[in-house]
Amino acid sequence: MPRVENPERSRAARAISLAAVFCCAAMLTGCQSTGQGNAWQPTADAEAQLKDPERLRLSFAQMSEQRGDYDAARDAYQQISSTNPQSPEAILGLARLDLLAGRIQAAEKQFLQAFQVAPENSLVIESLGQFYLTQDRFDEAVRHLTRGIELTPGNNRLRHRLAVALAKQGNIAAAEPHFVQSVGDAEADYNIGLILYEQGQTKQAEDRFLSAVLKKPTLVQAQNWLDAVRQETRKAADTKLASASQSPTAKQPVQQTASQGQTTESSIQQAVPQQGEASAAPQPRAPQFGTPTQPTAQVQTLVPAQSQPTSQGLDLRTLNATQLEQLENSLNPTERARFHQCLRTGTPFIR
């Protein structure tokens, strides 16, 4: 027998369902008070979503993705794609979920599908370029992000991604103006310094961090990285010096007698430093403020530049931002021009 529904119960069920949808829309898009008691009315955006089930479902999918409920997000994106295969937002959502799950090939296929559906959508182009950037496919990232900038020149977020792709591609000269335009002059040096350091170009990274600090002393991140890189450089130099001092010289190996494996005390000669080398164990190095002198038979202790002859010059790379600023303020115009030249070239500064 067919089931007979209770009309009152059916109306109540529909009311509860409608209330649930309304509450979901209110959470996603907001609602406004009528000013009368506790009554609330949906905003114009919420009303639009109630009239557009796809838009409401897309908001639910994006909210689920942000909260980490990826199963619910995928179900919602797939429901949208089944009814509207041309929805770039749903395709991008599925691509992001595939990327998070480590399904790289499936993710690339989805990103390319979104690009085919909406080839001039700046969000689609940015997402595709960012995908190639995460995969270290810099040529493809640069190509798509450049196209995005041509379509939306004022999109600084997309411009910053293009700058990162160019810098990681090795084209620092092309990346720098995009960094400057999207984040600022000092911040451009800081960003380039991070990428150079990541690529193992420590000296160039140090120069960029120093330039960022000089341009903007309040950029704390740049000062912290400058200090860290300098400390790393000094530690590496100390380790290299200690290894060179402790290893035996190749010119005087241990000698053995011609007899069958028999050795005497007189037939073994210890390796000793050659003339002109240090004969004592390496001493801890003091911070290097000047140009080091040539090695002699005595182990020399480096001292701050104030106690060294002025002809050796001052290594500006060992000074922090405050010291550099104080020094620059004490110079006349001619000295200041030479000071900036030494900063760029890394040569010692002589007053």
Q: Which residues contact 286 (CB under 8 A, 6 or more apart)?
A: 301, 302, 303, 304
Output the pLDDT for position 44.
54
Whether the per-residue pLDDT at 245 is higher than 90: the answer is: no
Output the pLDDT for position 229.
94
Q: Across residues 290-301, what is the average pLDDT?
A: 32
pLDDT-based confidence at residue 290 (cuts at 50, 70, 90): very low
Using a 10 angstrom Cβ sphere, with 0-12 exposed, 13-18 middle and 19 or more buried, the burial of residue 262 is exposed
Whether the per-residue pLDDT at 313 is higher than 70: the answer is: yes
> If you compute the radius of gyration of the chain from its CA atoms, what whole number of angstroms results?
34
Q: What percent of the chain has pLDDT over 70?
A: 66
Whether the per-residue pLDDT at 55 is higher than 70: the answer is: yes
Give the SS3 label for residue 40.
Answer: strand
Q: Which residues contact 222 (CB under 8 A, 6 or more apart)?
A: 186, 189, 190, 193, 209, 212, 213, 216
Output the pLDDT for position 303.
30
Instruction: Look up residue 105 and give its two tokens.
Output: 């090939």
Q: Is the pTM of this model over 0.85?
A: no
pLDDT digits (tens, 9 = 90+) for 133-172: 999 999 999 999 999 999 999 999 999 999 999 999 999 9
Output the pLDDT for position 312.
64
Query: What does the H/E/C string look like for 307-339?
Result: HCCHHHCECHHHCCHHHHHHHHHCCCHHHHHHH
Output the pLDDT for position 43.
54
Using a 10 angstrom Cβ sphere, with 0-12 exposed, 13-18 middle and 19 or more buried, the burial of residue 178 is buried
**296 vs 51: which has the higher pLDDT:** 51
**269 vs 29: which has the higher pLDDT:** 29
pLDDT-based confidence at residue 319 (cuts at 50, 70, 90): confident
- Rounded to whole angstroms, how far apart are CA atoms 70 and 91? 14
**317 vs 105: which has the higher pLDDT:** 105
